[in-house]
Amino acid sequence: MTLVTGATGFVGRAVLERVAGDGACRLRAVARRPVQAIRGVDVVNVGDLGPKTDWSTALSGVDAVVHAAARVHVIRDKAVDPLAEFRRVNVSGTLNLAKQAAAAGVQRFIFLSSIKVNGEQTSVGRSYTSDDTPAPAGPYGISKYEAELGLRELAQVTGMDVVIIRPVLVYGPGVKGNFRSMMRWLNMGIPLPLGSIHNARSLVALENLVDLVATCLRHPAAANRTFMVSDGEDTSTTELLQRVAAALGTSARLLPVPGWMLQTAASALGMGDVALRLCASLQVDIGKTREVLGWVPKVGLDEALQRTAQNFMAGLQ
């Protein structure tokens, strides 16, 4: 049996649907909110993800865990001590689950980490790899890195396989946050000052991410490895907006404002992090993922954008 945490989340729900569709194993989902029924999936509620959570009921009979639950990165964090709160959930909560999983006889623990473990940006043409020295960015990235360290140590002590996946920006049908806002602005024809951004960024379609998770559940060579994941095709912010607009059946109205000018203005307004994600490059190399697992992205960027746009437009009707 495979246990999936974060079952009501964007990624967790998709993992459940994909693995259930494979029909290769029984599934149990952990969720704090009601979960729309999926045939063959048991649902349990263990409360908040924290250092004292009791996972015994959820782990009974489980031989693999996909840990997708987390305190996610937020732009305007209202916590008094954001790093402490990220550590409570993403580090202590994760390691508490992993220790109980190992004690319960779980054989493989798949941890959905973040590219922020590597850092926030790359120079054009220079891609992050899983062998790079980590330089975690911000409280979220730090918490994910510390969780990775704890999981690797636990794997050595207990013999439980640990697989770490570091996704870049995930998009797909049902995506929310900034990506959904971008589609809304494009669909409304709002002019955006992003017509002259010459960066390069890796993205990963939800379908590609969950396909890699499914591969890691069964592939023997995945044990105790760290994998990068993307669509295998990088794009600039300007080009991405144009491609998303085309998928929406419209044209992007982009003003050719230089990236340096945008970053300067955004920093003055206290929005430097947002400008960095729009203007800086962030590329990952999935060569190791391809080589070790024989894995290739299932869908290309344009096909995945088309599906995302169709879902978005259907939701407007």
Q: What is the pLDDT of residues 198-239, one digit of tens each?
A: 999 999 999 999 999 999 999 999 999 999 999 999 999 999
What does 137-166 look like in DSSP terms, one character per residue?
-HHHHHHHHHHHHHHHHHHHHH--EEEEEE
pLDDT of amino acid 259: 81
pLDDT band at 179 (very low <50, low <70, confident <90, very high): very high
Report the alpha-carbon distance of residue 56 to residue 54 in Å, rounded: 6
Question: For this structure, is 140 an active site residue?
Answer: yes
Q: Which of 128, 140, 145, 171 is catalytic?
A: 140
Residue 190 has pLDDT above 80, yes or no: yes
Average confidence (pLDDT) over 101-107? 97
Average per-residue pLDDT in the chain? 92
- Residue 16's alpha-carbon distances to 54, 78, 90, in angstroms, are 22, 31, 21
pLDDT of amino acid 43: 85
Percent of the chain with pLDDT over 70: 96
Report the alpha-carbon distance of residue 31 to residue 206 in Å, rounded: 19
Q: What is the pLDDT of residues 72-101, one digit of tens each?
A: 866 555 667 889 999 999 999 999 999 999
- Dihedrals φ, ψ of 288, to 5°? -65, -40
Average confidence (pLDDT) over 115-133? 93
pLDDT of amino acid 130: 93
Q: Do residues 137 and 144 touch, judged by C-beta distance below 8 A?
A: no
Highest mean pLDDT among 113-117, 121-125, 278-282: 113-117
Which distant-in-sequence residues (6+ apart) come within 8 Å of 225 by Cβ?
130, 163, 164, 292
What residue type is 60 in one-letter code? S
Q: Hunting for tokens 């920093």 — which residue is that?
A: 267
Domains of the chain in start order, with CATH, are: 2-174+203-231 (3.40.50.720)
Statement: the pTM of the whole predicted model exceeds 0.85: yes
Average confidence (pLDDT) over 14-19? 91
pLDDT of amino acid 125: 79
Residue 53 has pLDDT above 90, yes or no: yes
pLDDT of amino acid 107: 97
Give the angle subtended at the CA of 116 by the CAs of 153 and 123, to the nearest 5°: 125
Q: What is the pLDDT of residues 261-306, one digit of tens each?
A: 888 877 777 777 777 888 999 999 999 999 999 999 999 999 999 9
pLDDT of amino acid 317: 73
pLDDT band at 35 (very low <50, low <70, confident <90, very high): low
